[in-house]
């Protein structure tokens, strides 16, 4: 039963990998306030306000989910570290933790989609290129 549960979780992780990777295409933080991005992407003040609202909402939701994940991870570790292992309880706690990770990945992906909708295709593609270049500049 444990092997079956682990296999199911592995499939979920593989299916979410593209969503997780896509979320990393967006620069961290309030990048739209940096002249490097804002000027080259012609981001208006109205768009900055919309991005600020989206960022604030997402940041709060991500913080909640990360806190929830830490609590669930702690509960899982407690269940596994019991002298008398309750396999069903441990699997249930692991599944709950993985579900929260899935929601976290989906929330990140949803943020990416909202940024894409706001910028449109061409500016979104340009933002990704700028981010790659900016990331390289930051590492030099």
Question: What global pTM score does this model have?
Answer: 0.73
Collapsing DSSP states into helix, strand and coil, what is residue 106? helix
> What pLDDT, on the 0 to 100 scale, is given for residue 25?
78
Q: Which sequence spans correspond to the domains of the chain?
A: 2-139
Residues 136 and 124: their CA atoms lie apart, in Å, by 18
54 neighbors 115 (Cβ within 8 angstroms): yes
Count of helix runs (H) and strand runs (E) in the chain: 4, 0
pLDDT at 3: 57
Q: What is the pLDDT of residue 65?
A: 96
Compute the distance between CA of residue 42 and CA of residue 35 in angstroms, rounded to an integer: 10
Spatial distance between the Cα atoms of 70 and 104, rounded to a whole number of angstroms = 12
Q: What is the mean pLDDT of each run of 10 residues along the chain (140 residues)?
A: 54 49 73 95 97 95 95 94 92 95 95 96 95 76
């Amino acid at each position: 039963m444990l092997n079956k549960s682990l296999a199911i979780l592995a499939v979920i992780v593989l299916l979410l990998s593209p969503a997780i990777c896509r979320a990393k295409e967006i620069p961290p933080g309030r990048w739209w306030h940096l002249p490097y991005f804002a000027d080259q992407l012609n981001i208006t003040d109205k768009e900055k306000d919309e991005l600020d609202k989206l960022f604030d909402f997402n940041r709060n939701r991500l913080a909640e989910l990360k806190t929830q994940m830490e609590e669930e991870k702690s509960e899982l570790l407690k269940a596994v570290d019991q002298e008398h292992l309750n396999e069903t309880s441990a699997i249930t706690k692991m599944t709950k933790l993985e579900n929260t990770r899935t929601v976290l990945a989906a929330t990140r992906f949803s943020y990416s989609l909202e940024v894409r909708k706001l910028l449109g295709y061409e500016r979104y593609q340009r933002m990704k290129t700028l981010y790659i270049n900016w990331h390289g500049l930051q590492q030099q």
